[in-house]
Chain A
Amino acid sequence: MARAVTTQRKALNTAIAWSIGLLIFFPILWTILTSFKTEAEAIANPPVFLFFDWTLENYAVVQERSNYMRFLTNSVILAGVSTILGILIAVPAAWSMAFVPSKRTKDILLWMLSTKMLPAVGVLYPIYLLCIQLGVLDNRLALIVILMLINLPIIVWMLYTYFREIPGEILEAARMDGASLKDEILYVLTPMAIPGIASTLLLNFILAWNEAFWTLNLTSVNAAPLTAFIASYSSPEGLFFAKLSAASTMAIAPILIMGWFSQKQLVRGLTFGAVK
């Protein structure tokens, strides 16, 4: 017998879900609200929630003090190029693991994932030194490669899961129809996996956009993305919460808007293969 779901129970579930959702969203909301306060109101005790003098002053100051557009451009380039590069490398890798698996495929997948368990700081020193030696500190290209590499395991895993859902017979049919390996991947596999590739692309763009460890440690001016932009507002002479919040809001706004419009793909991407 199916479990009877009463109206009351439904209402309760809705209330709980909304509470948890708001709880998770609250820090972001608070940041956005704070960005419209004066510095005094920002640190007022007890804190003011909605009834304060709304001001855009912080945004004006932030815009004046630092070049937002340069950081934004860097973020877009770093996240975008590293994601696309990662996809280009991961598609053939995931293809081979999904369709011509060897005895060691599972091990390789786990090993790749295990690199994500390594604390990044553990390799900071060698990578930092490497960057100095190669003269690529604060260099966009170097950062693109590093971001691509740290996200590659996730990209391969996600694509692998998607590709596994595609019946091998269809690829065999393509082979029988005279398709070369390139044709098979380009005209058959990729179009069939477009939803999967799209959500992988989105998720990894967000991960690369939010990545703060390497972007903060390996950049100063030229290659610095929005994470560095936010960090520059926590100065040793004291925190200016309202300005920091304004900077944060400006940094997360693009990705928040993008995430809002693509939430369907994202949810599908994250839960893919979980239920079947």
Chain B
Amino acid sequence: MGHITLKQVTKSFGEVQVIPPLDLEINDGEFVVFVGPSGCGKSTLLRLIAGLEDVSSGEITIDGRAATEVPPAKRGLAMVFQSYALYPHMTVRKNIAFPLRMAKLDIAEQNKRVEAAAKVLNLTDYLDRRPGQLSGGQRQRVAIGRAIVREPAAFLFDEPLSNLDAALRVNMRLEISELHQTLDTTMIYVTHDQVEAMTMADKIVVLHAGVIEQVGSPLELYHEPRNKFVAGFIGSPKMNFVEGEEAVKLNAKCIGIRPEHIGVSLESGDWKGTVGVSEHLGSDTFLRIKMPGVQEHMTVRVGGEFGARHGDTVYLTPDRSKLHRFDAQGLRIA
């Protein structure tokens, strides 16, 4: 079980309110990702749920029980930290067994659970090593092992992959997703990487300056962003925004179109532009196109073999059905 509810939760540090009143419901078994730029309060929110920070006002309930005043140790949650936070003086076995030792489980049961977790995480051969003798990926696995042995109501991950190199990050991402499938336990995952959010989440919570901008499934956010912020944050490369004449034509302050929803031609199209930098990824090519009336470059995705060079004139045709319109407040017009 791992049903977590936040009701009118706020957090202030001194005079500064980092989280204005916030409501959120996390259902049992869900993989929820908190995503947002640095300093948006996503980690603080996670720490409030963990109990590592006290809420300034509001209520947190876990499985229907009031948890606001409950110390972290008693909330039945497990956390994986960005820095892994392993106990350097203990072996891997002792690290993983630590929560069980604190729960005063008998030694036989402790060993059984540690070995089971080690098997799942491919750590069996490393049980007698110390964290200092492990690689980054292995350390992260130990941290996860320490979390799973407790069989918590929910797992909290605080940017767990940001210290790993790119290749390892992709692997660990898959491993964590797989773990979620196997354990079927609520997971709350904090990241600033929208790719992690899109690929892992059942539900994404987009935060900006402590405020929830939108909650929804990855595809909901992709297709129906509530506002300009979410539209720009979700999706990679980010959505192009066009203001001025083109927007006015469509009765909007601003229109948004994703790089993958624009057709490019060397002969004709709706908008005319000049090619700047092209990024060849092999499978795709991203063109940065300078267009009159658009402040920044437009980013357009084309096939891997598209032959346009710096300075070439191209014509762009947006897919009208995929256009997003935004009003003066930045809210999306349905």
Contact = CB atoms under 8 A, between A and B. Distances in A.
Contact of A173 (B77, B81, B150): B81
Interface in B32-79: 50, 52, 71-74, 77-79
A169 B81 contact: yes
Given A169-B81, A169-B83, A174 B98 contact: yes
B102 interface: yes
B85 A169 contact: yes
A167 B98 contact: no
B146 interface: yes
SS class, residues of chain A in contact with chain B: helix
Interface of B: 50, 52, 71-74, 77-79, 81-83, 85-89, 98-99, 102-103, 146, 150
Contact of A176 (B79, B86, B88, B89): B79
A177 interface: yes
| CB-CB nearest 6 A-B residue pairs | A173-B85, A178-B102, A177-B99, A169-B85, A176-B79, A178-B73
Interface in A148-172: 167, 169-170, 172
A178 B150 contact: yes
Contact of B85 (A167, A178, A180): A167
Given A172-B52, A173-B79, A179 B85 contact: no
A183 B52 CA distance: 17
Given A172-B81, A178-B102, 12 more contacts: A167-B85, A169-B83, A170-B85, A172-B79, A176-B78, A176-B79, A177-B102, A178-B99, A179-B98, A191-B87, A192-B88, A192-B89
A interface, how many residues as a size bin? 10 to 19
21 contacts: A167-B83, A167-B85, A169-B85, A170-B85, A170-B87, A172-B72, A172-B81, A173-B85, A173-B86, A174-B87, A176-B78, A177-B78, A177-B99, A177-B146, A178-B74, A180-B102, A187-B98, A188-B87, A191-B87, A191-B89, A192-B88
Contacts of B87: 170, 173-174, 188, 191-192
Given A170-B85, A192-B89, A178 B103 contact: yes
A191 B94 CA distance: 13
A177 B103 CA distance: 9
Contacts of A177: 73, 78, 98-99, 102, 146, 150
Contacts of A183: 102
A175 B89 contact: no
Nearest to A177: B99
Contacts of B88: 170, 192
B146 to A, nearest CB: 7
Given A177-B99, A178-B150, A179-B102, A172 B85 contact: yes
